[in-house]
Chains A and B, each alone.
Chain A
Amino acid sequence: MEPALIEARGLDIAFGAIPILRGVNLAVPAASVALIVGRNGAGKSTLVRLLAGLSAPTAGEASLFGAPSRTLDSAARRRLSIVTHQSFLYPNLTARENLEFYADLYRVADGRAEIPRWLERVGLTSAAHARVRTFSRGMEQRLTLARAMLTRPEVLLMDEPFAALDADGVGLVADLLCEAVARRCAIVLTAHQPITIDGLEFDLYEIVRGRLRPMHGRAIGASAPRAIGGVGR
């Protein structure tokens, strides 16, 4: 069995006396996607932060690439990308400057040369020199996707990546997910409700009262390979 790139073992976290997550176990090997659904406040974003090592669990351990998330070395962190409700973009930098910053920070080979291609891919070529503070929420989300994918991650943690996107944007996310899986990226994805993406298989989980449990079966879309992504709800 292939080792898990993303793993949670007995994760607990509580805010004060309120338990948010209890005994969460999860293993996501390369080239696979775990889709985690749950209502508002179920703990999806908290779980993503724990997996990324951005929060400390009350008990248990999250690990990436077989090492504890909170003490990952630089080489391992270079292989990780995160999409959260916060865009991680600097409002007073332009779209291009933001991508240049992250390409330099992650020392992406040919990163700067790749930037025009990514801006075109997310439909922001005409806004390349506009400051992010002038962007709509949807444009910011598109640039966030470019920022996350530019570094060619091997582990991708995405908290509700479809938020604020129009139909084209949702298709874009679907395509990016398919491509990431094709290059053997391990992905954790959260959403409010189960979704299907053509050509992509998910291991489907639900967070209920702080516990992560598998949902019956797998959410499987059409098996035929596709050029343009689409999402069914």
Chain B
Amino acid sequence: MTGFSVILRKDLRLELRSGESTIALVALSLLILVVLVFALDPVGGVRDAATAAGALWVAMIFAGMIGSTRALLAERDNGCLRALIASPLDRGALYLAKLAAAFIFMAIAEAAAIVLMVLFFNLDFDSRLLRLLPIIGLGALGFSALSTLLAAISGRLRAGDLLLPLLAVPMFVPALIAGVKASGAALTGASFGASAQWLKILIAFDVIFLTSGYLLFEHVIGED
């Protein structure tokens, strides 16, 4: 069994046992979507697909920050992170395992958020949602990659929990714009060509976040 699978299996086992992360993520997504529904359309007017896409991405980003933080938080109990640093585990494998855990927690929350979005914004459960899935998947992957790295940095600092959104959200803005545009195009039923450019930007940012996270994680996690 590789170090990656040992860590990921342990994280999933802990999550299945407590459900803390996924419950918190789903609850936060629900709250954000409820707030946005009332804030954007308090008198029950037209709820358009582009607005729904924006609301979904807002929910995804804020829930994603909790997911990444919690994936690393488990390692702070009883100094377990030190044990991992002193162990034979490759730190790149640790990053990928934490990223995978955060992505899985986020994906579960997003699945619930998509259902809530359809209900709250009066959309239809149709094939357009299938076009949305890869876009949301790419967004969740990129945000997990970025926020896992930033959570490793902020977790070592006093008031680091406050620092994470201050760093993560501005850095994710270009990918966020691309994701919202691509999602909006998918939900309005526009042609694939209309969202292809935005998808390319999203993929490019995923590659940047993944590569930089993999290369930098070793340096931000090792120092005591």
Contact = CB atoms under 8 A, between A and B. Distances in A.
B112 to A, nearest CB: 23
A136 interface: no
A101 B80 CA distance: 12
Q: How big is chain B's contact interface, by range?
A: 20 to 34
B223 interface: yes
Interface of chain B: mostly helix, strand, loop or mixed: helix
A105 B82 contact: no
Interface of chain A: mostly helix, strand, loop or mixed: loop
Contacts of A78: 87-88
Given A87-B78, A89-B78, A93-B14, A74 B6 contact: no
A52 B86 contact: yes
A53 B10 CA distance: 25
Contact of B18 (A88, A89, A92): A92
A104 B8 CA distance: 12
A93 B86 contact: no
B74 A90 contact: yes
Contact of B85 (A54, A75, A89, A104): A54
A56 B224 contact: yes
B6 A93 contact: no
Q: Which of B7, B74, B77 has the most chain A CB within a 10 Å cutoff?
A: B77
A92 B74 CA distance: 9
Interface of A: 49, 52-56, 70, 74-75, 77-78, 80, 82, 84, 86-93, 97, 101-102, 104-107
Interface of B: 1, 3, 6-7, 10, 13-14, 17-18, 74, 77-80, 82-90, 222-224
